[in-house]
Homo-oligomer: A and B are copies of this chain.
C-alpha cells in the first residue's frame, strides 16, 4: 500500500510542514520579491512550493488574486497596527497635537516590527510591497489604494495638526515624498548599488535604517514652504 503522503520530489525545506495554501503564499512572497509579478510563472511558483500546478487556481482563483492575498496577509495587520499606535499616542497626548516625530513613529514602527518578524515574512514582504507601489497594473493600484485609504487619511489629519504651517495640498505632496522614500528604501536590496557602496543587510541594520530615515523625513516635513528663489529653475536657461 501507499504511504499516507504521496511520494514527491523534495519541496522547499521551509515549506514542508505547512498546508498547501500557506506553502503557496510563502513561495509566492519569495518569488514575487525576486522576479516581480509578471516575471513569476505559476509553474515555477508551484514547483518551489512543492504543490501541484492547479493548486493555485483551486485555492486562490487566479494569479492576480494570489498576489492580492500575498499582500493582504501582511498589510492588513500592519496598517491596523499603525492606526492603533497613532490612537494610543493621541490618548497619551491628552488632546494636545502630536509631534511630527511621534506621528512618524506610528508609521515606521509597525513597518520595522514587520521587518524584524521573520515569521510574518520579514524584509522579504516589505520588498514585495515596495515593488507593488511602483507597479502600474490597475489591479495592483486599485487594491493598494483601497488598502491604504483609511490609514493615509488618519495620518494626514494628524500631520495637519502637527504641521500647521502647511496647507493641505502641500502636506499631500510631502506625504507623497515620505511614501516615496519609504517604499524605495523598503524595496531596495540592490538599490544600494546605485550608491556604489555595499552595506551589510542584517537585522541591526534594518533598525538603523529606520532610525536614519525618521530624522530625514521629519526634517523634510517640517521644512518651511518652498521658495522658488532657492531653486533657480528658470534663470539657468
Contacts and interface: CB of A to CB of B under 8 A. Distances in A.
A62 interface: no
B153 A191 contact: no
A149 to B, nearest CB: 5
A209 B194 CA distance: 24
Contacts of A1: none
A211 B226 contact: yes
A15 to B, nearest CB: 22
Nearest to A180: B184
Interface stretch (A48-56, A68-76, A129-137): A129-137
Contact of A194 (B148, B215, B236): B148
A93 interface: no
A134 B134 contact: yes
A225 B233 contact: no
A108 to B, nearest CB: 7
Contacts of A199: 169, 172
B180 A236 contact: no
A140 to B, nearest CB: 10
Interface residues of A, number: 82
A209 B180 CA distance: 14
Contacts of A233: 105, 109, 112, 207, 210-211
Interface stretch (A2-10, A22-30, A35-43): A35-43
Contact of A197 (B172, B180, B192, B214): B172
B141 A177 contact: no
Given A141-B190, A152-B195, A209 B136 contact: no
A154 to B, nearest CB: 11
A196 B130 contact: no
Q: Which of A33, A173, A189 counts the most chain B CB atoms within 10 A?
A: A173
B194 A104 contact: no
Interface of A: 33-36, 38-39, 85, 101, 104-105, 108-109, 112, 130-131, 133-137, 141, 144-145, 148-149, 152-153, 156, 169-170, 172-185, 187-197, 199, 207, 209-228, 230-233, 236
